[in-house]
Homo-oligomer: A and B are copies of this chain.
Amino acid sequence: MYLETIHEPADIRGYTAEQRRALADEMRDALIRRTSCIGGHIGPNLGIIEATIALHTVFDSPHDKIIFDVSHQCYPHKMLTGRAHAYIDEAQYGDVSGFTNTDESTHDIFNIGHTSTAISLASGLAKARDLAGGSENIVVLIGDGSMSGGEALEGLNTVGELGTNFIIVFNDNDQSISENHGGMYRKFRELRETGGTAPDNLFRAMGLSYRYVADGNDTEALIAAFSEVKDMTQPVVVHIVTQKGKGLSFAEDDPEGWHRHAPFHIKSGITKKATVPDPYAAATVAFVLETARKNPNFVYLSAGIVGGINLSPADRTALGRQYVDVGIAEEHAVAMASGLARGGARPIFGTYSSFFQRTYDQMAQDVCVNRSPAVFLATGTSLYRSTDVTHLGFYDISIFSNIPNLVYLAPTSVAEHIAVLRWAVEQTEYPVMIRMPFAGYEESPYPVRTDYSTLNKSIVVTEGADVALIGVGNFAVLASEAADELAREGIRATVVNPLYLSGLDTALLSALGETHRLILTVEDGIVAGGFGQKVSSFYGERGGVRVMNYGLPKQFFNRYNPDDLACTYHLTAPQIAADVLREMR
């Protein structure tokens, strides 16, 4: 075993080609074994083993800086930088995160999880080096669909005039998470087919030098290429062609399905525990297919992650030209949705809450200033969803509830979600965003309307007095459960489903103010800038009503236990009920 003897990259620098081949085999086995147990981004990591060995053979990390874009392909890097134990010892699998993490190692320069950021981040390192008179190499590994993101393209252009050492390794595996999209990928194919000599090379068009490595899984070829560009004093792109999922037949055959995978049986490739289908995603897919059949002007937009609702290849085929995947380009998707709506089509653009962050300006300027009645679907919207610091889904209320003209809705059940979605697609008055509930919570049994055009109309779902609980979206049932606990203590609390995040039902709040002295808001998001603070502001001006805002503090959290986090911030029914009892006494 080589792997267990590697504590730092220097340990592999004296290896022979034969030893490197053996090391790669070991790493591949370890990756497959580990992912079969705990899941992870298996495809990207299997493809990049050889390149990582070559990088750490040629460059002197952490003196030389290697920045991994998205960084979901950093497992081999972690194996070679003092963290092999987390890949070979089952008991220690949980010791490392799935992304580069500055708390784990000085070899990890940034915490990265969103795509297309590494060139820009690294360009700052290069400039800082030049100001300080340093001579270290700055190396970026980017690919896997990330090159189409605006931040990466801005970075390419700027780096093009940097005039200093800057090495971009472009990992071309002809694959994003789902298939690649965009004109540049057609040209990348031409480059692959011509050994890197096809005309109209994007990188050269941005003013960069260019090298081509046909087999990006050939460690020795990579070492030769990296050695050639090491210490170069001009920005250069090394275009390497790798195979996503290399060495695991299932992953080679189905790169989309194995981009990230749940634990599986190594022999059969069968998933160990059948994933429970998300009823919200399933209902949304059914709605999308039905709507597309009925309305030829309906279109579903995706930005590289199959719409955030796992549209299957069959679904996408069924949608045909009514499905558009723009690749990793969320800003473009939002603006395109605005143009579609302005042109008379009825678009939905769906992606994760965390990726919608990219589109604040497009949502404000391209959509809302123009009052384009496009529909946006934010998924992964819960503290229970992703627990990686770069993919948290609980900032969106604070972001999107404060953009003028945008109607932001938080349904509380599958039926309400679809009713809201149906209304959003049928109306042409407002830009509408919908916070798709997280499937891990219980659905509300609340009544469902069909028309939501009277904005900001909240519904009292339980009549009470003195205390009112306003449970937002995901936390509707939490509010109802807290009310149930209070009922057992003899307190009949009012429960409200606000539904609208972007405005208040001031008439209802005024009425509640007459008969209630304590109002609780409960949201699956940060309190700062969120829904509850708007309620506090409303009652603050009137006086006489106390308002308690439940939610998360304005912080980043990483790899936390969601139950613990919920408990810490009293986001459980017994805690809320106990708080109320204490306050009412």
**Residues in B neighbouring A534, C-beta threshold 8 A:** 528, 533
Min CB–CB distance A305 → chain B (angstroms): 15
A150's contact among B150, B183, B338, B532, by CB below 8 Å, is which?
Answer: B150
Contacts of A362 in B (CB 8 A): 117, 120, 151
Which one of B127, B158, B200 contacts A204 once the chains associate, using CB atoms below 8 Å? B200
A124-168 CB contacts (< 8 Å) to partner B:
124-132, 148-151, 153-161
Task: Give the chain B neighbours of A581 by CB distance below 8 A.
Answer: none
Given A184-B157, A202-B202, are A533 and B526 neighbors across the interface (CB < 8 Å)?
no
B-chain residues with CB within 8 Å of residue A299 when the two chains form the complex: 127, 131
- Nearest-Cβ distance from residue A159 to partner chain B, whole angstroms: 7
User: Which chain B positions have C-beta within 8 A of A157?
Assistant: 148, 153, 182-184, 327, 329
In contact, B364 and A361 (Cβ under 8 angstroms) = no
A154 to chain B, nearest CB (A): 4
Indicate if the CB atoms of B158 and A332 lie closer than 8 Å: yes
A389 at the interface (CB under 8 A from B): yes
Place the interface of chain A in its size category: 35 or more
Q: Is the CB of B202 within 8 A of A205?
A: yes
Interfacial chain B residues near A184, Cβ < 8 Å:
157, 160, 205-207
CB nearest to A127 among chain B residues: B340
Sample of 23 A–B contacts (CB below 8 Å) = A110-B339, A110-B342, A113-B365, A120-B331, A120-B335, A121-B335, A122-B339, A124-B338, A124-B342, A125-B342, A127-B339, A132-B296, A154-B331, A161-B186, A182-B207, A184-B205, A187-B205, A358-B360, A358-B361, A368-B556, A533-B537, A536-B536, A543-B546
A contact residues vs B (CB 8 Å cutoff): 102, 109-114, 117, 120-132, 148-151, 153-161, 181-184, 186-187, 199-202, 204-208, 296-297, 299, 321-322, 324, 326-327, 329, 331-332, 335-345, 347, 357-358, 360-362, 364-366, 368-370, 389-390, 395, 398-399, 401-405, 526-530, 532-534, 536-537, 539-543, 546-549, 554-556
6 A-B pairs with the lowest CB-CB distances in the bound complex, closest first: A160-B183, A124-B339, A183-B207, A150-B150, A128-B343, A120-B335
